[in-house]
Amino acid sequence: MIKREAERRLLRLWREFPVVLVSGARQVGKTTLVDMLSDRLRLGQRISFDHSGSRQRANEDPELFIEGAQLPAFLDEAQKSPAVFDAIKQQVDRHRRPGRFLLSGSANFLLLKRVSESLAGRASRLFLRGISLRERMSRVGDAPHLLECLKARTARRALDQCHATADQVRLTPRDLSQHLLEGRFPELVVRRRSEAFRLAWLEAYVDAFVEKDLPDFGEIRHREEFRRVWRLVAASAAQLRDLASFGQALGVSYHTVDRYIGLLEQGCHLFRLEPYYVNIGKRLTKTPKIFSEDTGLALMLAGIRGLEQLEASDRRGAWLENFAIAEVKTLTELFDPSIQLWFWRTLAGAEVDLLVERGARLLPIEIKWSSRPTRSECKGLETFLIDLKPRAPFGLVACGTREPFLVTDRIVAVPLPWLLI
């Protein structure tokens, strides 16, 4: 069993809030996480609203249902019985102490909307993603290297930090490609599976989401059309959220694409990265980028079925960018939720893949397969460092190098795996 980074955060929230919400895509390990911690959470009862009997009883008399629950109670797939939220609020307000109700669900927007409407100030949220690179490499609990980089004031200091700890992480480019292809679903990470099993499991996963989860979000009349949009968006990793182009490519309306992407975001399969915008005399893009939560699932949907196809693809760099940003998002949310992530792009074409903002500090990061990136490949970083010099003393190129080195006096090349753990 792989130890999860989220364990400590869940236990901390449980000690502080009457209600804790664990959300995330289906099959990322929400129920397993709770089961692993059940003794420490001291749960009195577990109720799954996947069962029609539980849903029916809760919907018929939610106040009686909640009053009869043996606390602390774990309510799984809570979005399927929205009537219980107001009843939980009443129960919490009568006895306002931490660790009373643990909710989970795989419908992100619906859960957050109902929690914000009924349980504002009473609940906290933990968003669970799949198995991270840190968890695969048994680095849970160690201080992330990214946060140490944010403390460094010069490129030379960041280089020294990386030199001191680079031996802790040794992954070949082939290893990294395998991680991209496998994705982060526990079922495909914890146990070694054949390629045929992996593909069959992912295809069944898509079927389950379309046939079982989508009806919870609203009526979908054209499910094959939805699948086509999902495949196109999955193949467009790390691209701008250009609804008009997506719609034109598929022969559907802008509004249809917008709705389907929204449903995939609600189902925790996509996330956006917003552009960083500051008035520095340059025209900057204001369109967000779109990313898949799981590169393994996205690659399957895009028709990439094996390592050879992935490594031969001209979109390989975009897949790597998607993987790295999803990993950084997981890391920062668990260790320092105050950190904000952006990308930066001018209309003239200068771009930085990832911008990490912590307080007044900005750390720009480029993500590349190359093992020896050159200065000419870092034009976007140089432009950003000139424009934002007071807040961004240096930048990183996270790449395929085995040893860190200075590209310029303000740009450090570091091994990508090192940055992610």
CATH value at residue 19: 3.40.50.300
Does residue 269 lie in a domain region? Answer: yes
- For every residue of 2-58, DSSP letters joined together read PPPTHHHHHHHHHHH-SEEEEE-STTSSHHHHHHHTHHHHT--EEEETTSHHHHHHH
What is the pairing mode between strands 395-399 and 361-367? parallel
Q: Residue 90: CB partners within 8 Å, gap ≥ 6? A: 63, 66
Per-residue confidence (pLDDT) for residue 112, from 0 to 100: 64
Does residue 1 lie in a domain region? Answer: no
Do 297 and 207 lie in a common domain?
yes
Does residue 345 lie in a domain region? Answer: yes
Tally of domains in the chain? 2
Among the candidates 127, 160, 186, a domain finishes at 127
Q: Tell whether the model's pLDDT for residue 395 goes beyond 60.
A: yes
Cis, peptide link before residue 173, omega less than 30° from 0: no
Do 70 and 118 lie in a common domain?
yes
Among the candidates 65, 96, 127, a domain finishes at 127
- What number of CA atoms fall less than 13 Å from residue 279's CA on the CB side? 0
**Contact present, 37 and 27 (Cβ < 8 Å):** no
- Kindly state the average pLDDT of the residues 372-387: 94
Do 109 and 174 lie in a common domain?
no
- Kindly state the average pLDDT of the residues 69-75: 95
Do 107 and 175 lie in a common domain?
no
The secondary structure of residue 213, as a DSSP letter, is I
> Which tens digit of pLDDT belongs to each residue from 123-164?
899 999 999 999 999 999 888 999 999 999 999 999 999 999
Sheet containing 45-48: order of strands: 45-48, 73-76, 101-105, 19-23, 123-127
- 90-94, 184-188, 316-320, 394-398: segment of lowest average pLDDT: 90-94
Per-residue confidence (pLDDT) for residue 167, from 0 to 100: 81
Q: Which helix (H) or strand (E) holds 84?
A: helix 84-94
Do 92 and 202 lie in a common domain?
no
Q: Tell whether the model's pLDDT for residue 220 goes beyond 90.
A: no
Per-residue confidence (pLDDT) for residue 111, from 0 to 100: 63
Do 113 and 142 lie in a common domain?
no
Average pLDDT of the chain, as a whole number: 91
Do 160 and 102 lie in a common domain?
no
> Which tens digit of pLDDT belongs to each residue from 278-335?
766 577 888 999 999 999 999 999 999 899 999 999 999 999 999 999 999 999 999 9
Measured at the CA of 179, the angle between CA 304 and CA 213, to 5 degrees, comes to: 65
Q: Which of 380, 377, 351, 358 is nearest to 287 (CA)?
A: 351
Q: Which of 133, 113, 103 is nearest to 23 (CA)?
A: 103
Share of the chain above pLDDT 70, in %: 96
Do 140 and 118 lie in a common domain?
no
Per-residue confidence (pLDDT) for residue 81, from 0 to 100: 86
Helices (DSSP H) in 209-242: which residue ranges?
214-217, 223-235
Does residue 196 lie in a domain region? Answer: yes
- The pLDDT-based confidence of 95 (bands split at 50, 70, 90) is confident
More confident residue, 178 or 285: 178
Do 148 and 115 lie in a common domain?
no
Do 221 and 283 lie in a common domain?
yes
Among the candidates 127, 148, 174, a domain finishes at 127
Cα 273 from chain centroid (whole Å): 11
Do 184 and 154 lie in a common domain?
yes
Share of the chain above pLDDT 90, in %: 75
Strand partners, 333: none
- The pLDDT-based confidence of 114 (bands split at 50, 70, 90) is low
- Kindly state the average pLDDT of the residues 219-245: 90
Do 401 and 312 lie in a common domain?
yes
- The pLDDT-based confidence of 118 (bands split at 50, 70, 90) is confident
**Contact present, 201 and 188 (Cβ < 8 Å):** yes
Backbone angles phi, psi at 409, to 5 degrees: -70, -5
pTM above 0.75, yes or no: yes
Domain holding 322, by residue range, is 136-420
